[in-house]
Amino acid sequence: MAAGLRAVRRWGLVAAAPGLAFTRSAFVVKKANNAQPNWLGVGLAFSTSAALWAFLIKQHSENVMEYERRKQERGHKCTGCS
């Protein structure tokens, strides 16, 4: 019998105390104002995206250059260098 009560409590099948039912939520829902967009948020979103794309393209070009350099080193079979 005690194991059954523990399972009921663990799964939350027991009704919550009345004082806990009327707590405030941390998330507040309000109607979006589409007439005045949040331009600071829009600017931050686009600039962050542009910066990440620039970093990605720069990193890709560096990786391609390193790949080409290593490919040429593998093809170099000179006995005087080593």
Q: How far is CA 3 from the centre of its chain?
A: 41
Query: Above 70 in pLDDT, residue 69?
Result: yes
> How big is the chain by its Cα radius of gyration, in Å?
31
Give residue 21's pLDDT: 59
The token pair at 74 is: 């593998």
Give residue 42's pLDDT: 95
Instruction: Write out the H or E segment, with its range, that includes residue 68.
Output: helix 39-75
> Each residue of 9-27: pLDDT tens digit?
666 555 555 555 566 777 7
